[in-house]
Amino acid sequence: MTAQPHRITVIPGDGVGPEVVRSAQRIIAAAGVAVDWEEAEAGAEVFKRGDTSGVPRETRASIERTRVVLKGPLETPVGFGEKSANVTLRKLFETYANVRPARELPGVPTRYAGEGVDMIIVRENIEDLYAGIEHMQTPDVAQCLKVITRKGSEKIIRYAFELARREGRAKVTCATKANIMKLTEGLFKRTFEQLSVEYPEITAEHLIIDNVAHQMAKNPVQFDVVVTTNLNGDIISDLASGLVGGLGFAPSGNYGDGVAIFEAVHGSAPKYAGKDVINPTALILSSLMMLRHIGETAAAAAIEDAVLVTLEEGKAVTQDLARQTGGDVEHAASTTGFSDSIIANLGRRPATVPSRADATPPASPATRRPSWAYGPEVSAAVERRTIGADIFLESWAAPGEAGPALAALAGDVLLLQMVDSRGTMVFPDTGLNPDAVGVLRARFVAREDGVAVSDADIAGLLGRVGERFAWTHVEKLHVFAGEPSYTKAQGQ
């Protein structure tokens, strides 16, 4: 209980959003936490009024004041917005850490019940393929940039280790595809290895992402905290939710340097809207993450216990659960009734699962700025030179024709090192004969080892190549700190 009420922005959202949000608000009030809610709008109605972001200026202003958001699901009506308002909110406030606990709950029947699944997926939320940078190279060849930065990696990995430390968790697993993507996923893995030494009390392990998915199905209790890149995290956090009862029980928090947004993972479920039947557990569990974030750990533990008691006793069971357990769907608890039961159970402790009331984690804010140095001076200190360029061409020419033609265009400073198709070298001939798709990459490097190639050299090359071929995309080949900073083609 606090003297000063907390100011929190609440976005009821679309569909069942208002019902699950009201449910959480009532329970928080019953637990004695004083909140000055700033109600704000986002989602379907906003889009329909012509705001293509789905997030009005007043809502942004409220969040800038309160720094904490509890929100229901938002819809992006077809034909109104190009980007989801949920995603826009995360981008607006750069909530880089998507935290998805997946914990076994009593009374929720799953194939893994009784095993004690209790893991937290920490997903990078800003970069990777979700930067959404796509270019058609030809009418039939699409490209998306997967971008992984050291700074972005440090922030999320540090976040995961700090979370593990704060919650007394023993292990952090890093999940990547670094064996295939040595530069991007490899950067994430190497950053993890470097940071892990700062957390000697925590076991740090790396697993390949496909093995993580395999192990989650086979033996999920081995996982504690899992930190991973954006797309990997998207997939395995939904997988993890599936192990412990599905999206109806899946809370989430999005943490940035200043702002945190708490929401259920499920959608707006319009067909249940306004019927007082939806299971509000996911949003209630999300609100517990919020209470811990603002320092109301005792209230969070009390509500958590009351939720656990309600689920384990099974007296108030919402329709979705009744359906799964073969219970009486017709006489199932309403959203309101289920919430009333939780309120009635405040002060009780669960009988079959441990309470977290006695293991209250410290309330320190979860976010921590990167502690490594970044910036122009740091970048400038890295010894570097450009040693060539990759030019991507729209071309159906046979490698035996394209190769010599490109080699003849290389000029005095550069030479053609190889030509590939979708990453497999086709010139010089290696006996490989991959199916042509209409794009070739020509790699040109300095004729003399160690010589730096200038912008003028590359411009000249582009001009010569452009007279015979339609180029679409150019990458400089850098050597940073003496290391070639690009990958070889298959067969090269």
Applying CB under 8 A, which of residues 7, 150, 165, 349 lies at the interface with a copy of itself? Answer: 150
Q: How far is the CB of 24 from a copy of itself (least distance, A)?
A: 23
Q: Report if residue 354 touches a copy of itself, rule: CB under 8 A.
A: no
The one among 30, 236, 353, 419 contacting a copy of itself by CB under 8 A: 236
The reply on whether position 145 binds a copy of itself by CB under 8 A is yes
Unique residue bearing structure tokens 């999206």: 247
* CA atoms of 104 and 263, how far apart (whole Å): 19
* Contact residue for a copy of itself among 162, 238, 312, 313 (CB under 8 A): 238
Q: Do the strands 97-103 and 118-124 form a parallel or antiparallel pair, or are they unpaired?
A: antiparallel
Tell me: does residue 303 bind a copy of itself (CB under 8 A).
Answer: no
Q: Rounded to the nearest 5°, which phi and psi values hold at 455?
A: -55, -35
Q: Which is nearer to a copy of itself, 334 or 492 (CB)?
A: 492
Shortest Cβ 103–a copy of itself spacing (Å):
15
CA-closest candidate to residue 472, choices 393, 417, 395, 413: 393
**CA distances to 182, 237, 264, 414 from 417, in Å:** 21, 43, 52, 9
Show the tokens assigned to 256.
């940035």
Assign 41 to helix, strand or coil: coil
x/- string (CB under 8 A) for a copy of itself, residues 196-235?
A: -------------xxx-xxxxxx------------xx-xx
User: How far apart are alpha carbons 23 and 338 in whole angstroms?
Assistant: 9
In angstroms, the Cα distances linking 210 to 146, 177, 179, 204 are: 18, 8, 11, 18
Q: Tokens representing 115?
A: 């095993």
Q: Does 323 bind a copy of itself (CB under 8 A)?
A: no
Min dist. Cβ of residue 366 to a copy of itself (A): 16
Under rule CB under 8 A, residue 186 binds a copy of itself = yes
Q: What is the DSSP letter of 229?
A: -
Asked whether the beta carbons of 133 and 147 are under 8 A apart, the reply is yes
Instruction: Pick from 5, 132, 354, 404 the residue near a copy of itself by CB under 8 A.
Output: 132
Cis peptide before 428 (omega within 30 of 0): yes
Q: Please choose, from the candidates 63, 5, 1, the residue with its C-alpha nearest in 3D space to the C-alpha of residue 32.
A: 1
- Based on CB atoms, which residue is closest to a copy of itself, 8 or 439? 439
List the interface residues with a copy of itself, window 430-469 (CB under 8 A).
Answer: 431-435, 437-439, 441, 455, 459, 462-463, 466
State the nearest-atom distance from the C-beta of 143 to a copy of itself, in Å: 6
The alpha-carbon radius of gyration of the chain (Å, integer) is 27
**Under rule CB under 8 A, residue 379 binds a copy of itself:** yes
The binder of a copy of itself chosen from 7, 18, 45, 138 (CB under 8 A): 138
Place of tokens 């007082």: 276
For residue 134, the cross-strand partners are 144
- For the bound state, the minimum distance from the C-beta of residue 135 to a copy of itself, rounded and expressed in Å, comes to 5
429 lies in the site for a copy of itself, by CB under 8 A:
no
Query: Per the structure block, which two tokens stand in for 27?
Result: 């329970």
Q: Minimum distance from CB of 28 to a copy of itself (Å)?
A: 28
Q: What does the block give as tokens for 430?
A: 């290696």
Query: Smaller CB distance to a copy of itself: residue 114 or 200?
Result: 114
Instruction: Give the nearer residue to a copy of itself in terms of CB position, either 217 or 351.
Output: 217
Choose, by CB under 8 A, the member of 181, 343, 363, 415 that binds a copy of itself.
181
Find the binding residues for a copy of itself in span 380-399 (CB under 8 A): 382, 384, 390, 394, 396
Instruction: Write the interaction track for a copy of itself spanning residues 9-48; mark x where CB under 8 A is met and - where it is not.
Output: ----------------------------------------
408-429 CB burial, b ≥16 within 10 A, e <16:
ebbeebbebbbbbbeeebbbee
Does residue 94 touch a copy of itself according to CB under 8 A? yes
Q: Phi then psi for 40, rounded to 5 degrees?
A: -140, 160
Rama region for 293: left / alpha / beta (φ>0; ψ in -120 to 50; rest): alpha
Of 5, 29, 32, 136, the residue at the interface with a copy of itself (CB under 8 A) is: 136
Count of residues in contact with a copy of itself, rule CB under 8 A? 114
CA distances from 413 to 161, 188, 403, 468 (A): 48, 35, 18, 19
In the bound complex, what is the minimum distance in angstroms from residue 162's beta carbon to a copy of itself? 17
Catalytic residues: 130, 177, 210, 234
3-class DSSP assignment, residue 455:
helix
Site string for a copy of itself, 41-80 (x = CB under 8 A): ------------x------x--------------------
Q: State the nearest-atom distance from the C-beta of 210 to a copy of itself, in Å.
A: 4
Member of 67, 146, 165, 447 binding a copy of itself (CB under 8 A): 146
- Asked if 248 touches a copy of itself (CB under 8 A), the answer is no
Q: Which of 171, 203, 205, 239 binds a copy of itself (CB under 8 A)?
A: 239
DSSP assignment string, 384-400: EEEEEEEEEEE----HH
Any contact of residue 322 with a copy of itself (CB under 8 A)?
Answer: no
For residues 257-276, which are near a copy of itself according to CB under 8 A? Answer: 257
Nearest to 146 by CA among 178, 100, 99: 178
The single residue listed with the structure tokens 């939806």 is 278
Asked whether position 142 contacts a copy of itself by CB under 8 A, the answer is: yes
